[in-house]
């Protein structure tokens, strides 16, 4: 079959991936959902033309977004909420922790979940966990109605704009804090300082205004524009830049990116990012 190239072009930047087959192309109420089989990177998910994941490196993003807050939490977290994350990857990583008793996910677009279950089994297996409860709703509204319920809240959002826009507001961060139990930790997708420095700054200012401890962690995901993405991690419980406890030997055999050393290193930022966040 003849190959072709798919290009994500946004924010003055483009990235092109060679694909060999379109597995899914559908328009939901909120966005266009596409899944492609690529030549070198496994399967590729796009929402409104923006790369969400590829099989080749999604483990980096999902391991970091799940484990940075999990291990920053003092003691053992029991209840977690994922906002967004309809591909199931963060659920998969949270599901590796038997200590968690309850894992909720609030995804606004049920068609993203359906497409993931059909075409992205590598990540959608996260929905198979019996501890997972799915809520199809607007995360910015859902969080207002669940105060003091969670030890971890993880925001796995799309880029600003479209259905993810409310998840980048200052009010949303205040509501995230209200949803936490004492010592709770949040982590939110916080963009690349190379491509969207103003968004990185905005989200970290919002976090610092609401939490005693807040910091930006950067890590490499080659198929995201500029090859770097970040997470804002925040808590009133403790400094989030170092893990509270080590990874078990059993889990360490499964994880491919996250370690305690990587946790601390992710918060060691280049000079230009430090100035951006100062």
Catalytic residue among 48, 109, 156, 244: 156
Global pTM value: 0.95
144 and 70 fall within a common domain? yes
Overall average pLDDT of the 40-54 stretch: 97
Residue 165 has what pLDDT?
57
Give dist(CA 189, CA 154) in Å, integer.
8
Three-class DSSP category at 97: coil
Same domain, 41 and 171: no
Indicate whether 164 pLDDT > 90: no
Contact (Cβ atoms closer than 8 angstroms) between residue 16 and residue 27: no
pLDDT of residue 173: 92
**Residue 148 and residue 243 in one domain:** yes
Same domain, 76 and 146: yes
In angstroms, the first-to-last Cα distance of the chain is 51
Sheet with strand 102-107: strands edge to edge: 132-136, 102-107, 79-84, 150-156, 180-189, 228-235, 213-220
Q: Using alpha carbons, list the distances in angstroms from residue 189 to 121, 230, 248, 255.
A: 22, 6, 26, 20
The pLDDT tens digits for 125-145 are 999 999 999 999 999 999 999
Q: What are phi and psi of 92, to 5 degrees?
A: -60, -45
In sequence order, what are the beta bridge partners of 145? none
In total, how many domains does the chain have? 2
Cα dist. 94→89, 125, 219 in Å?
A: 9, 12, 19
Q: How far is CA 19 from CA 7, 47, 66, 140, 211, in A?
A: 10, 16, 29, 35, 43
User: For a pLDDT cut of 70, what percent of the chain falls above it?
Assistant: 95
CATH code of the domain containing 238: 3.40.50.150
Q: Please tell me the predicted confidence (pLDDT) of residue 2.
A: 61
Q: What is the pLDDT of residues 199-224, one digit of tens each?
A: 999 999 999 999 999 999 999 999 99
| Residue 156 among the catalytic residues | yes
Tokens for 274, please give them: 């430090």
For residue 93, what are its two tokens? 């990583």
| Domain containing residue 20: CATH number | 2.30.140.10
Quickly count: other Cβ atoms within 10 Å of residue 76's Cβ.
Answer: 13
Q: Are residues 106 and 30 in the same domain?
A: no
> How far are the Cα atoms of 101, 185, 251 from residue 203, in angstroms, in the given order?
29, 15, 31
Domain identity same for 143 and 178 = yes
pLDDT the model gives residue 171:
84
Asked whether residue 79 falls in the same domain as residue 15, the answer is: no
Over the stretch 89-109, which tens digit does the pLDDT of each residue have?
999 999 999 999 999 999 999
- 170-178 and 197-210 helices, crossing angle to 10°: 40
Domain range holding 25? 4-54
Torsion region of 11: left, alpha or beta (phi above 0 gives left; psi -120 to 50 gives alpha): left
Instruction: Annotate 5-34 with DSSP letters as a single string.
Output: EEEEEETTEEEEEEEEEEEEEEE-SS-EEE
Q: Are residues 115 and 138 in the same domain?
A: yes
Same domain, 107 and 88: yes
Assess whether 159 and 269 both reside in one domain.
yes
Helix, strand, or coil (residue 118): helix
Written as six digits, the tokens of 169 are: 């507001």
Residues 115, 212, single domain; the answer is yes
């Amino acid at each position: 079959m003849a190959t072709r190239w798919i290009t994500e072009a946004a924010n003055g930047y483009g990235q092109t991936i060679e694909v060999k087959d379109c597995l899914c192309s559908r328009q939901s109420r909120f966005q266009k959902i596409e899944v492609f089989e690529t030549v070198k990177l496994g399967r590729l998910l796009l929402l409104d033309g923006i790369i969400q994941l590829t099989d080749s490196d999604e483990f980096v993003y999902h391991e970091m977004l799940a484990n940075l807050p999990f291990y920053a939490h003092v003691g053992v977290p029991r209840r977690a909420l994922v906002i967004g994350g309809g591909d199931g990857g963060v659920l998969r990583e949270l599901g590796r922790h038997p200590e968690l008793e309850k894992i909720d996910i609030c995804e606004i677009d049920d068609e993203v979940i359906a497409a993931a279950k059909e075409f992205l089994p590598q990540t959608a297996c996260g929905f198979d966990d019996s501890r997972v409860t799915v809520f199809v709703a607007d995360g910015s509204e859902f969080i207002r109605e669940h105060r003091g319920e969670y030890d971890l809240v993880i925001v796995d959002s799309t880029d600003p704009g479209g259905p993810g826009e409310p998840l980048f507001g200052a009010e949303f961060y205040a509501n995230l804090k209200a949803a936490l139990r004492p010592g709770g930790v949040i982590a939110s997708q916080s963009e690349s300082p190379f491509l969207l420095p103003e968004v990185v700054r905005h989200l970290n200012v919002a976090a610092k205004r609401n939490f005693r401890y807040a910091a930006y962690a950067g890590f490499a995901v080659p198929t995201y524009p500029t090859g770097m993405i970040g997470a804002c991690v925040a808590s009133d419980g403790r400094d989030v830049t170092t893990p509270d406890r080590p990874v078990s030997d059993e889990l360490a055999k499964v994880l491919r990116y996250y370690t305690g050393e990587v946790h601390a290193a992710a918060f060691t930022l280049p000079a230009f990012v430090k100035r951006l966040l100062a």
